[in-house]
């Protein structure tokens, strides 16, 4: 089941109504059943992986609590890590590594190629494995007690609003809310509906309409001229942003309708003045996960400069690999690591801090500079392989290139402009909070515009969310 479907529009109100009608002691059963049904609508077979990860980590955490010596706890941590990341490797990365090995074998004319396995990538596997493994690590470190109630733990792993594409929640944040008796509050319902509406608008109206142009270009980038390559590069930057931001916003709104507060996953990232700030505003739940469970265990910044640079590079490289089993993603992550290190070094040399009170002109320059760098790196993210990425980059730097042009329709330009305006005014705030401060007439006018836009500019084709592939 996906958020931008009639099925979900029917499913969500039913769950919310039953949630408040049921006695508190039965609500977890409703949410757990709804969450499994939500996932089963995608593929029945892969529910086994979700259940396996849940059971293994539940048992490992219980055993850690039972055995207090560090050696035994470490054993169960490794069992959890091997099981979870073994599943992730098998279903997401096995063919990628085999392809790389086969390429090397063929290059050196050694042996025969290793066969691939035909598997479908389970939707959301990277998200729920990261979420459940963070719980195990917290229990191992002693910052979290093991959950004895299997149903509550399973609900934490499978909670449907954020199951397949985040935000990646910590147990200490999400689980207590799922175990709390929430009474009906109009404010939560109203703000939740506002977020769901806004999320569907930026996904179905902005992202899906931009997708038509981007997909057309990437079918064969060599056919198009340089101007089109630049236009598509910019459009894809906003397509992936509005697509993933739309999902996260609907997820946050859906949970809020039942009194559960999920973390904000985006905070106007394209208004960032540096690469570091960008990653503080983009996919925040993943960035903080890597900070807490990879960067800090590697030593963080409490080490010499060369080791710190190594830590940063590893974090970004692994982040790239997390996004996809393709060298384009790995290089995408490595480039961010290099840019982050270089940026920090430059700031050290010239003593520049982007948070200083700079002039508006300097701030605009820094924002545009950062957006250009991010957009260029997105080319790798969108390209199917390195060869296609090379074609796009060559098209960008060849102004004399002759080819077809993609003309944007005026409706798309207007809707795109509305989205840019909304993103600007939501700097350091959120749509539901911002609109709640407006007069009733203004609020309902905006609701009307968003609803009419969804009705008028949503096509018959249902585009899946981009981050479902991760």
Smallest CA-to-CA distance from 246 within 413, 428, 4 is with 4
Q: Which long-range contacts (CB under 8 A, 24 or more apart) does 284-291 make?
A: 284/167, 285/166, 285/167, 285/168, 285/169, 286/130, 286/166, 286/168, 286/319, 286/322, 289/130, 289/134, 289/168, 290/315, 290/318, 290/319, 291/315
User: d(Cα 152, Cα 157) in Å, to the nearest integer?
Assistant: 9
3-state secondary structure of 404: strand
Q: Is the dihedral of CA 404, 410, 414, 415 positive or negative?
A: negative
**Cis peptide bond upstream of 167, omega within 30:** yes
User: d(Cα 333, Cα 361) in Å, to the nearest integer?
Assistant: 30
The per-residue DSSP string of 80-148 comes to HHHHHHHHHIIIIIHHHHHHHHHHHHHHTT-S-PPPP---PPPTTHHHHHHHHHHHHHHHHHTSSPPP-
Contact 250, 203 (CB under 8 A): yes
Q: How far is residue 47 CA from its own chain's centroid?
A: 21
User: d(Cα 245, Cα 283) in Å, to the nearest integer?
Assistant: 9
Q: Is 277 left (phi over 0), alpha (psi -120 to 50) or beta?
A: alpha
Active site residue 245: no
Tokens of 448: 């009307």
Catalytic residue among 182, 245, 283, 323: 323
Neighbouring-strand partners of residue 224: 404
User: Which positions are annotated as active-site residues?
Assistant: 323
């Amino acid at each position: 089941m996906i958020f931008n479907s009639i099925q979900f529009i029917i499913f969500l109100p039913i769950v919310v109504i039953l949630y408040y009608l049921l006695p508190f002691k039965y609500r977890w059963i409703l949410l757990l059943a709804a969450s499994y049904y939500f996932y089963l609508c995608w593929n029945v077979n892969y529910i086994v992986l979700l259940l396996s990860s849940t059971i293994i980590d539940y048992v490992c955490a219980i055993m850690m609590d039972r055995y207090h010596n560090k050696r035994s706890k470490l054993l169960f941590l490794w069992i959890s890590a091997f099981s979870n990341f073994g599943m992730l490797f098998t279903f997401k990365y096995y063919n990628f590594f085999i392809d790389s090995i086969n390429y090397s074998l063929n290059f050196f004319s050694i042996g025969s190629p290793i066969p691939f396995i035909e598997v479908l990538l389970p939707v959301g596997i990277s998200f729920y494995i990261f979420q459940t493994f963070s719980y195990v690590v917290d229990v191992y470190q002693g910052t979290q007690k093991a959950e004895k109630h299997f149903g509550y733990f399973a609900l934490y792993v499978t909670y449907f609003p954020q199951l397949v594409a985040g935000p990646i929640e910590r147990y200490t944040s999400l689980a207590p809310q799922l175990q709390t008796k929430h009474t009906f509050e109009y404010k939560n319902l109203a703000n939740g509906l506002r977020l769901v509406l806004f999320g569907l608008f930026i996904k179905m109206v902005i992202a899906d309409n931009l997708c038509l142009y981007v997909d057309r270009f990437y079918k064969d980038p060599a056919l198009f001229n340089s101007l089109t390559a630049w236009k598509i590069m910019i459009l894809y930057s906003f397509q992936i942003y509005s697509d993933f931001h739309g999902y996260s916003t609907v997820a946050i709104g859906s949970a809020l309708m039942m009194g559960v507060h999920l973390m904000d996953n985006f905070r106007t990232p394209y208004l960032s003045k540096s690469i570091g700030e960008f990653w503080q505003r983009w996919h925040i739940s993943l960035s903080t996960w890597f900070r807490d469970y990879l960067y800090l265990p590697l030593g963080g910044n409490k080490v010499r400069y060369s080791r710190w640079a190594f830590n940063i590079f590893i974090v970004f490289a692994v982040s790239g690999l997390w996004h996809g089993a393709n060298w384009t993603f790995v290089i995408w992550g490595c480039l961010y690591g290099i840019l982050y290190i270089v940026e920090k070094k430059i700031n050290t040399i010239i003593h520049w801090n982007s948070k200083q009170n700079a002039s508006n002109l300097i701030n605009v320059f820094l924002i545009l500079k950062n957006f250009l760098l991010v957009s260029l790196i997105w080319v790798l993210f969108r390209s199917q392989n390195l060869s296609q990425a090379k074609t796009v980059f060559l098209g960008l730097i060849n102004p004399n290139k002759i080819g077809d042009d993609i003309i944007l329709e005026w409706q798309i330009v207007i809707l795109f402009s509305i989205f840019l305006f909304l993103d600007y005014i939501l700097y350091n705030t959120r749509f539901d909070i911002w609109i709640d401060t407006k007069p009733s007439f203004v609020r309902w006018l905006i609701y009307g515009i968003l609803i009419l836009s969804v009705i008028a500019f949503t096509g018959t084709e249902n585009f899946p969310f981009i981050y479902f592939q991760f």
